Amino acid sequence: MPKKPTCDSKTLLKQITKLITTQKRSEKSRKRLVRMNKELRIELQNVNHKLGKKQKKYEKMRNRLEKLRNERDQHAHDCETKIFSLQNEIAEMKTTLWTDKDLSDSSDVVDRDRNRLDVAVDNFTKFIDSFDEQNVDKLLYQAQQAYLKEIAGSVTPRKNS
């Protein structure tokens, strides 16, 4: 005795059609996901490229700031050395000027030493006046602010798709 089929051909045709439709939808979804993946990769490459540029700018600014700091520190060290040397020179001149026994006899020596002392004091005063640590700090601050402003201007919010 022949066996009865569990499904008729009509039901079987519907199931096959449904499977084909589902497969087509899956294929469309897969293609859409592949396209989105490509777009995201391109966007990621662009972001990495921009980030690399910003990183280079940052390194350049950081090196420049470090150079300015080193110059400021070197200038401060040079100033301290010169101040110390001028102070020693002034102290030596004062000592020579007031302890030399021949000074009472020779007014030329006294005038010469006093003139040297006056010149040393003037040089020292000019040097102190020219040394403006606040000016160096101000330049460093301005460079730092310009860099921060540049970085802040380059950051853009991410667009949601």
Domain boundaries, the chain: 9-154
List Cβ neighbours of 131 (8 Å cut-off, separation of 6 or more).
75, 79
* Residue 39 reports pLDDT greater than 80: yes
In this prediction, residue 98 carries a pLDDT of 60
- The DSSP letter of residue 7 is S
Which H or E run contains 22? helix 9-99
Which amino acid is located at 148 in the chain? L
For residue 60, the tally of other CB atoms under 10 A from its CB is 11
Output the CA–CA distances (angstroms, integers) from residue 56 to 4, 24, 97, 115, in the order listed.
78, 48, 60, 56
* Residue 161 reports pLDDT greater than 60: no
Compute and round to an integer the Cα radius of gyration of the chain.
42
Find tokens 């096959």 and name the residue. 16
In this prediction, residue 130 carries a pLDDT of 66
Q: Which band of pLDDT confidence, cut at 50, 70 and 90, is reported for residue 132?
A: low
Q: Which residue has the higher pLDDT, 49 or 13?
A: 49
Residue 150 CA to residue 155 CA, distance in Å, equals 9
40-52 pLDDT, tens digit per residue, is 999 999 999 998 8
Average pLDDT taken over every residue of the chain:
76
Work out the average pLDDT over 96-101. 60
In this prediction, residue 99 carries a pLDDT of 60
List Cβ neighbours of 68 (8 Å cut-off, separation of 6 or more).
136, 139, 140, 143
* Residue 9 reports pLDDT greater than 60: yes
Contact criterion met (CB below 8 Å) for 124 and 130: no
